[in-house]
Amino acid sequence: MLKQFSTLIMISLSALLLASCSSNPPKSSYNNICSVFDHDSDWQEAAQDAEEKWGTPAYILMAFVHQESRFTHDAQPAREYALGMIPLPRRSSAYGYSQAQDPAWYDYQKSTGNWSARRNNIDDTMDFIGWYNYQSHKRNGISRHDTYSLYLAYHEGQGGYSRKTYLKKPWLKKVAYKVTKQSVRYKAQLKNCSRYTKSSYTPSKPTKGNAQCRAAWPYC
């Protein structure tokens, strides 16, 4: 009887874990936000919830995930091997959809009280990115509609952004432009997403920040 009860608990826990995670969208859908939403509505619901809570538009949140992990739940930096066989430490602790590193994730958990948050969970990922962009808005005056500057702060950290460390990284500015272009593409596609347009959800209005968008027209 005890053995059967234990088995039932294990099955229930497994089902709960599977329900809380989502399958990764197919590669062919990465550049179309409607296709990602159609693949799994969890992406849409999590993006909308995070936008309502933190103010960063859903299309920007999704563009961040596209850049950081290509919607891969267990994404990690590549591991190098010594002598072709001895595994070496990874370049960073970045993990999951958002590629958040351990210190940033801990700060998020501490700030929000969400200690059970996981980096391979869609809801937690979107909430983290929204939270982090809110910190960028609050600490560095970046508009939550300024994809370009938000991404620079996301990559460099709040202190690094304020010190303008990105100015010495031309490659990073190119990536920030790339993320901005992706967000513009997603924003345009949202108008044609049947699941999205039929919902009662109303996108947030642009918020004012002290910093101006540094991306070239028409990305601001």
Positions of the chain with pLDDT lower than 50, given as ranges: 2-20, 198-201, 209-211
CA distance 113 to 15: 25
| pTM strictly above 0.85 | no
pLDDT in tens, 171-193: 999 999 999 999 999 999 998 88
What pLDDT score does 170 carry?
A: 95
pLDDT in tens, 149-173: 999 999 999 999 999 999 999 999 9
CA distance 194 to 106: 37
The domains of the chain, with CATH numbers, are: 24-197 (1.10.530)
43 and 22 Cβ atoms separated by less than 8 Å: yes
Nearest to 183 by CA among 70, 64, 69, 72: 64
What pLDDT score does 135 carry?
A: 97
